Amino acid sequence: MNQPPIWRLLITPPAAGAWNMAVDEAIAAHAGRGETPPTLRFYQWQPACVSLGRHQPLADIDLARCAALGYDLVRRPTGGRAILHTDELTYSVAGRQEDPLLAGAVLDSYLRLSQGLLVGLEGLGLRVAKAPPSGRANADAGPVCFEVPSAYEIVAGGKKLVGSAQSRRGGWVLQHGTLPLVGDVTRLVEVVVFPDEAERSLQRELLAGRATTVEAALGRVVNFDEAAKALAAGFGQALGIHLEAGELSPGEIAAAEALQRQVYGHEEWTGRH
């Protein structure tokens, strides 16, 4: 009988946006070279942080409002639109492009990984589904990530619950996404640039009707630890993998420190669009 593939499970302490993005890329690069196992990571953000998609204009965000509210700002290595990371669980999956679970076109691996999310969320008691493959972000999409679900993202009660994005380069795959646990999903609207306050109010109303949290969908609070345990079980079951708890390697930590200093914590990267 074949043994299931062994993946590493990481649960890292809450950290600033630049560090979180640097760690995700460092893990992906090492896993892509086969220096560390394929990895599933769960993490949080401290302080709350607005993340921009890799190619999103910085002008979408009101920097003064961000500062006034105490929000950090970072640009992700993946695409998509702006997200406010607070009161959530963030997951990342990293490994070699040749890995059977990550191989093929982006949407092929998206579909496989979304099954892990789906099974994990069902384990919490949520009634969830995958958005249809026709749901794809386009060039005319607004600045807010949770406006509409993209292909195979997770919805609950018709509202977007999990938003994910993927990057492939240098032989590695990185996919990460956010699961809002509690709170007001429209808070991001406060720091997005709009032509006037009437438009801001309209977008707040639209977003409230299109996105949700675990608490709103389930009717009870699920904390980070409970969500991480359920999602780990879901990935293990759906993907047929064995997760072993681990830690960042010294090489990954050194690479993340360099990426934080030279890329994700540097204004040249953050302001590149």
CATH code assigned at 148: 3.30.930.10
Percent over 90 (pLDDT), the chain: 85
Average pLDDT, stretch 207-216?
Answer: 96
Instruction: Report the C-alpha gap between 115 and 92 in whole angstroms.
Output: 14
Residue 169 lies in a domain: yes
Count of C-beta atoms within a 10 Å radius of residue 47? 13
Measure the CA–CA gap between 202 and 223, rounded to whole angstroms: 31
* Poorest-pLDDT segment among 29-38, 148-157, 194-203: 148-157
pLDDT higher than 50, residue 169? yes
Residue 152's pLDDT is 74
At 24 the pLDDT is 98
Structural domain harbouring 29: 6-266
Mind listing the pLDDT tens digit for each residue in 179-191?
A: 999 999 999 999 9
Q: Is the omega angle on the peptide bond into residue 47 within 30 degrees of 0, that is, cis? A: yes
Give the N- to C-terminal CA distance of the chain in Å, as an integer.
Answer: 52
> Mean of the per-residue pLDDT values for the chain?
93
Q: Which long-range contacts (CB under 8 A, 24 or more apart) does 10-13 make?
A: 10/39, 10/40, 10/41, 10/42, 10/43, 10/245, 10/246, 10/247, 10/248, 11/41, 11/42, 11/43, 11/228, 11/245, 12/41, 12/42, 12/43, 12/248, 13/43, 13/44
Provide φ and ψ at 207, rounded to 5°: -65, -40
Enter the pTM of the model: 0.93
pLDDT of residue 144: 57
Mean pLDDT confidence for 173-184: 97
Using one digit for the tens of pLDDT, what is the confidence trace for 101-151? 999 888 889 899 999 999 999 999 999 998 887 644 444 456 654 455 666
Tell whether the model's pLDDT for residue 264 goes beyond 70. yes
Catalytic residue among 28, 74, 83, 145: 145
The tally of domains found in the chain comes to 1
Q: Is residue 271 part of a domain?
A: no
- Beta strand 154-156 with 159-169: parallel, antiparallel or unpaired? antiparallel
Q: Is 145 a catalytic residue?
A: yes
